[in-house]
Structure 1
Amino acid sequence: MNRRQFLNAGALLSLTLANRRTLAAPGDIVLGQSAPLSGPAKDLGIEMRDGALLWFNYVNARGGVGGRNIRLETLDDGYEPERTKANTDAFVKKNVAALFGYVGTPTSLAAKPIFEQANLPFIAPFTGAEALRSPNHPLIFNIRASYFEETEHLVQHFWDLFQRKFAVVYQNDAYGQAGLNGVVKALGSRGAKVVATATVERNSANVEAALKAILPASPDLVVIVSTYGTAAAFIKQARAMGSPASFASISFVGPTSLANALGKDKTGVMVSQVVPLKGVGIFSEFARMLPAGTAVTPVALEGFIAAKVMTDVLKRANGPDGLLTALNNTNVDVGGYRVKFSPGNHAGSKYVDLSMLRSDGSWAV
């Protein structure tokens, strides 16, 4: 047996074991989620969880899946990889059906060796990193578009506006590197290069060094690959220092929280979105189901979409085929947003749109 045959045989065994173990236990169908519920990135975890719970609670109130409730157990990791590892170990010991809706690239990558060892499906992580997409992984199922696809849309938009000097401020971890790589790739296909780069630390709003590295290059556009607190700190200070640059980020920034953190400096900031913010059924359905006075946020909507897809999978997996078989045969439209998986392609959607903040905090899309 050669190496390729050996690896293929191992993958097949993993799939078989995972397929057998998932929905066999009676009682609730338990999904494990590690996400930041505290710390500077907490809005991302809370919104992702609450969006998913909105749909799961709706399903459970109507009999669940085959009479079984879907129970989402969320453990706080503060957006720190070591805590994510501990949470994932705990979920494996509980024999959860799957891991669902993890938040972040460095945290998801920290969980990867653990869910691989446990043959546990890893579904709908809130990250677009290539490290969780390429090559196609038998246990990882991505519902959202990739960071490469998001940064390509951003670069194309500003390139069409004849802006050529692009700078990148990126988080000093796997998430930031993924975003930087996306911008570099998009510019490279146009024969251009990034004019300046700078790193910022995860869960920090210390941006002074980044400002000193970026502003002297006089960029037309600064792409910020971080979470909302860091991005807001950089934009506010850059504008206070007189920078005429445009500013943009990708969806993981936490668009609603970014708008709130920017205050009067929000106008004109652009964010790529991986869920539809107008004009389709899923947006309207989500808005109707929210408690009165609650605004739609893109992150919560992503959680809601992921939960609808997860429910479709669970309904089909409730028979003899098993969870992985159902996942690998997914082709579902959840209201104008289609998610499709096959055994060779676990990138469920390529949907990307661009949005720009207005002075009143609303999004122009």
Structure 2
Amino acid sequence: MPCALLANGNRSPETEAPSPLAPHIAVPDDMTEQNPFAGASRLSQVVIKMLKRFTMLLAVVASFTAPAAHADIVTVAQVLPLDGSLEMSTRSTAEAAEIYLRKVNDAGGVNSHTFNVVTVNASTNLETALRRTAETIRQHRPAALLNYYGSTRTSTLIKSSILEATRTPVIGANVSSTLVRQDPDNHWVFYVRAGVQAEAKKMVHQALSLGGRRVAILYQNDAFGEDGMRKSIDALNASGIQPVVSRPMSEAMMENAALAKIAEDVLRANAGAVLIFADSVNVGGFLRAYRERGGNAVVTTDSTPSADELVRASSPDLARGVCIAEVLPALAKRNTRLVRSFVADMTAAGRPDLAKSTTALEGYVSARLFVEAVRKIAGPVTGETVRTALQSRGPFDLGDFEVRYGPSQYEGSQYVDIGIVGHAGRVLN
């Protein structure tokens, strides 16, 4: 199966030469990358204005050059941050999707269609990610984007109107934020996994059943973390409970002293359960600080950290016993057709490492959903026909895991389970 990796992740965005496949889009002078994470809100507005300048052009281009991919090669694209702290997770996601589509091609395709995957390094920088997304859509005219990553990136992409102008759906955006998932301006982004609202409800239920009524909440100091915190408090209040302590955690890697202070606050509150909405690095740091001080509360995280990431961020001993929200069937559940197929496909492709990765499973599921949508299209495969299939020809059974969309329903699943990290980082259910 044709497969290309564009935008070399080893180059910095400032020095990277424009790909010959994707002509350079000029960037305003005030959109430098001296500090990629500073002024994200201001930058988002500038990026949106920049992208809207291309919206009219893209709409015209799309009207004359939209691919009529009937009995032909259908292109899909993945624009992901493939470097930095997210690299291990996002590469697993992208590679698993490519492996599944390659398998479909090797079996003869679907309805005489085969698939070409273009995978682009979006960078961790918001401006670069939006620019590369626009370039990728304009140059390759994919029938869909798979596995778009992050609440801020996805929200900015929706607001830019580029998806509307080019009639390009996104399948499997990795977004937990309720505000983004329920954005009334969204007509093209389809979420596979459950969001933070469903996760928080399940996490609270688990905490109350295992750790009593004294619950602490730790949350990443951004829109995602605050959303998790608010939804957890709502779920606790429904049971007549208030959290005994609620503390924000930095988006960046926290210093040991700051993590120790949070651990001491949780200990002083005598919490029996701790709910955490944060990435694996800071969850691991908290576990070290908390367990070293004798903390023994039940720790439950949202689905952001995978078990193997938690083990790397802390240790096998510290991660053991941590509960993790799971928004897809657990890899340990070999009785589900989805998991059996995933493990078999990754192993057959010579990637048994991916067969153990929950983030790889997410990429695999997005690709599988795309193929099932194509299977229900009788004519040309375009972004428009893919969206119509998703909205009107479901539900889609992906292997004992079902997703369903509608004309104004973009969240396909509310499935949440809880796994417990066991020996050597294996998740038990």
* Aligned CA distance change for structure 1 residues 268 and 342 (closer, same or farther; 3 Å): same
Q: Which runs of 5+ in 1 are unaligned?
A: 1-16
For the 8 Å contact 2:211–2:273, the answer to whether it is kept is no
Deviates more, 1:177-186 or 1:49-58: 177-186
2:126 is the alignment partner of 1:73: no
2:169 is the alignment partner of 1:121: yes
Deviates more, 1:205-214 or 1:30-39: 205-214
Which position in structure 2 is the counterpart of 1:161?
210
2:179 is the alignment partner of 1:131: yes
CA distance in 1, matches of 2:122, 2:293: 35
> Structure 1 runs of 4+ off > 6 angstroms?
17-21
Correspondence for 1:42 among 76, 84, 87:
87
* Aligned CA distance change for structure 1 residues 125 and 217 (closer, same or farther; 3 Å): same
For the residue of structure 1 that corresponds to 2:207, the secondary structure is helix
Post-superposition offset of 1:331: 1.4
Normalised TM-score (structure 1): 0.86
CA distance in 1, matches of 2:202, 2:319: 21
CA distance in 2, matches of 1:99, 1:350: 22
Aligned length: 350
2:326 is the alignment partner of 1:283: no
CA distance in 2, matches of 1:81, 1:218: 40
**AA at the equivalent of 2:145:** L
2:227 is the alignment partner of 1:175: no
CA distance in 1, matches of 2:409, 2:66: 21
Post-superposition offset of 1:99: 2.0
CA distance in 2, matches of 1:328, 1:142: 12
Which position in structure 2 is the counterpart of 1:315?
375
Pairing of 1:11-30 with structure 2 (within 5 A): 23-24=67-68, 28-30=73-75
Which position in structure 2 is the counterpart of 1:343?
407
CA distance in 1, matches of 2:131, 2:259: 32
CA distance in 1, matches of 2:261, 2:66: 51
For the residue of structure 2 that corresponds to 1:299, the secondary structure is helix
**AA at the equivalent of 1:323:** V
Normalised TM-score (structure 2): 0.74
For the residue of structure 1 that corresponds to 2:376, the secondary structure is helix
RMSD of aligned residue pairs (Cα, Å): 2.7
For the 8 Å contact 1:170–1:180, the answer to whether it is kept is yes
CA offset digits 1:38-86 (Å, max 9, x no partner): 1112222112112211211111222334444323323234544333222
For the 8 Å contact 1:79–1:104, the answer to whether it is kept is no
Q: Which runs of 5+ in 2 are unaligned?
A: 1-60
For the residue of structure 2 that corresponds to 1:153, the secondary structure is helix
* Aligned CA distance change for structure 1 residues 270 and 78 (closer, same or farther; 3 Å): farther
**AA at the equivalent of 2:242:** K
Which position in structure 1 is the counterpart of 2:424?
360
% same residue: 24
Post-superposition offset of 1:256: 2.5
CA offset digits 1:5-42 (Å, max 9, x no partner): xxxxxxxxxxxx99998653686322232323211122
Which position in structure 1 is the counterpart of 2:358?
298
* Aligned CA distance change for structure 1 residues 252 and 22 (closer, same or farther; 3 Å): farther
CA distance in 2, matches of 1:82, 1:300: 26
**AA at the equivalent of 2:282:** T
Which position in structure 1 is the counterpart of 2:158?
112
Post-superposition offset of 1:203: 4.3
Deviates more, 1:334-343 or 1:40-49: 40-49
For the 8 Å contact 2:326–2:418, the answer to whether it is kept is yes
2:142 is the alignment partner of 1:96: yes
**AA at the equivalent of 1:180:** M
* Aligned CA distance change for structure 1 residues 170 and 107 (closer, same or farther; 3 Å): farther
